[in-house]
Amino acid sequence: MTEENKCIFCGIVDGSMQSAKIYEDELVVCVLDIFPASKGHVLVIPKKHIAVSAQLDEALSAHLFNVGNKMSAVLFESLKAEGTNLLIANGAAAGQKVDHLVLHVIPRYKDDGVTISWKSEQIKEEELKNVYGQIVSKTQGSQEPVKEVEEIKEVVEEPKETTLEDALEEETFDDERMP
């Protein structure tokens, strides 16, 4: 990659681009987003130049989300976030602006104006079967068993209302490597 078309996130990783670095280890660096969705918006950036999440190996994928979850816990504690969104945009259609994978950890606050929404409509059974068939045809031979359409259609109970305090009490975090 030449100097003039160098990836901004690779520049953050190698130190040639200025950033507000809040965490770093051998695989990722975490910085504050300079165009935040909300106060404390963190970017978890793999040091290896990877365009989309499908290119992650299992170890880096697990590490990326582990660090993202820890950053989420830090935002709850340090900035009194009332919630967080962990978001990856794969491709321009999903909102990816730079060809380098980034995990966004977005702290959420009441009336913060951040919207992550879509119009959901129940899928027709014929379309469900069609989409299901297309996806399953590409997962044949995978190590994970794929559920049949009938199992997918089962009605799922509404999740129980859980407070943030309840959820954080149930979680255990390994703070060994976090600042």
For the chain, what are the domain ranges?
Answer: 3-110
* C-alpha–C-alpha distance, residues 115 and 44, integer Å: 20
Q: Which helix (H) or strand (E) holds 30?
A: strand 28-32
Higher pLDDT, 1 or 81: 81
3-state helix, strand, coil in the chain (%, to 5): 35, 15, 50
In the DSSP assignment, the letter for residue 82 is: S
Query: Tokens 């504050």 appear where?
Result: 32
| Segment 93-132, tens digit of pLDDT | 999 999 999 999 999 999 999 998 889 999 999 999 999 9
Q: What is the pLDDT of residues 126-178, one digit of tens each?
A: 999 999 999 988 887 655 554 554 454 444 444 555 555 555 555 444 454 44
Cα separation, 20 vs 160, in Å, equals 38
CATH of domain 3-110: 3.30.428.10
At 68 the three-state DSSP class reads helix
**Beta pairing, strands 83-87 & 42-46:** unpaired
Question: In the prediction, which pLDDT does 56 show?
Answer: 96
What integer best gives the mean pLDDT of the chain?
85
